[in-house]
Amino acid sequence: MLRMEENGPVVKILSARSFLGRVAYRAAAYWVDGLLIDSGCAFTAAELSTALSSFRLHQVVNTHSHEDHIGANGLLQRSRGIEIWAHSLALPILANPKLQPLQLYRRLFWGWPAPSQGQSLGQWVETEHHRFQVLHTPGHSVDHICLYEPQHGWLFSGDAFIGGKDRAARPDYDIYSMIESLRTLADLPLKRLFPGSGTVRDNPANALRCKVRHLEDLGEQVLRLHHKGYSVPAIRSRVLGSEPHLTYLTLGHFRGRYLVESYLRGR
């Protein structure tokens, strides 16, 4: 499934796989001025390529190497000779996506991306009418970057910002890097946020700061209970409650325990 929406000069492209008529987790890519920011999942690669056939397209920038953000890289590169840019740490996975093992739910939702050859990003990405600053924002992944367009106050944030209150995490999350990245983003003079979830927000600074406060408060609770001698399962139960639906959907790849452990690892 693919759906395209105009947000001024930015086109949002939502991709997802449907099961029995129901849409699973969505991922958003964005086209602006000949630049594609992320390319969705492998299952919608052909549909995305067709949808963009009438668009000027000179380059793709991947915010990170997760499979729901690089899925159409290979097809676009083969069919249109598109240049692909990403953080240097992402390039080996772009070239060989099998270096990133995918749990069953990830294979079912998004599929294995085709290989692509990327180039390492510098400090800026330029299009005909815009200049985007590249910001390294680790936490969600070590290779995560955001693109900031200062003239319009646009931020393309990938998965650096995910709304809501966290109750689970993947085992590879770096929670303190995530908080620091969010602080950096919240300090920018932003007018519009274009996240990987597709929920576009105007004047997003307050939402970013609220997310920072939530994660900091959560960490303080975790560390306070840890210092009192509580075990990880006990801390998870007291601070986060029961495991969320996401834990069962991902067969345990997202767990409240992993979120607690991320605070304890980096304390």
The domains located in the chain, with CATH, are 2-265 (3.60.15.10)
pLDDT for residue 24 is more than 70: no
pLDDT the model gives residue 1: 82
pLDDT for residue 21 is more than 70: no
Four-residue CA torsion sign, 264, 168, 163, 113: positive
Confidence of residue 215 (pLDDT cuts 50, 70, 90): very high
Tokens of 201: 């927000």
pLDDT for residue 127 is more than 70: yes
Single pTM value for the model? 0.95
Residue 214 burial by CB count (10 A; 0-12/13-18/19+): exposed, middle or buried?
middle
**How much of the chain exceeds pLDDT 90, in percent?**
89
pLDDT for residue 198 is more than 60: yes
pLDDT the model gives residue 15: 86
Scanning the chain, the segments in alpha helix (DSSP H) are 45-51, 73-80, 91-95, 104-109, 175-186, 205-227, 232-240, 245-249, 256-265
> Residues 223-246: what's their mean pLDDT?
95
pLDDT in tens, 43-62: 999 999 999 999 999 999 99
Long-range contacts of 146-152 (CB under 8 A, 24+ apart): 146/63, 146/185, 147/37, 147/61, 147/63, 148/188, 150/189, 152/191, 152/192
What is the average pLDDT value for the chain, to the nearest integer? 95
Four-residue CA torsion sign, 43, 44, 50, 54: negative
Confidence of residue 266 (pLDDT cuts 50, 70, 90): confident
Rounded to whole angstroms, the Cα distance separating 255 from 247 reads 5
pLDDT the model gives residue 254: 95
Tokens of 193: 């946020």
Q: Where is average pLDDT lowest: 29-38, 66-75, 139-148, 240-249?
A: 240-249
Tokens of 62: 């991947």
pLDDT the model gives residue 197: 93
> Residues 197-218: what's their mean pLDDT?
96
Rounded to whole angstroms, the Cα distance separating 61 from 86 reads 6
pLDDT in tens, 150-183: 999 999 999 999 999 999 999 999 999 999 999 9
> Residues 77-104: what's their mean pLDDT?
97
The residue among 25 and 178 whose pLDDT is bigger is: 178
Neighbours of 221 (CB within 10 A): 16
Residue 21 burial by CB count (10 A; 0-12/13-18/19+): exposed, middle or buried?
exposed
pLDDT the model gives residue 210: 97
pLDDT for residue 193 is more than 60: yes
Confidence of residue 106 (pLDDT cuts 50, 70, 90): very high
pLDDT the model gives residue 23: 63
pLDDT for residue 20 is more than 90: no
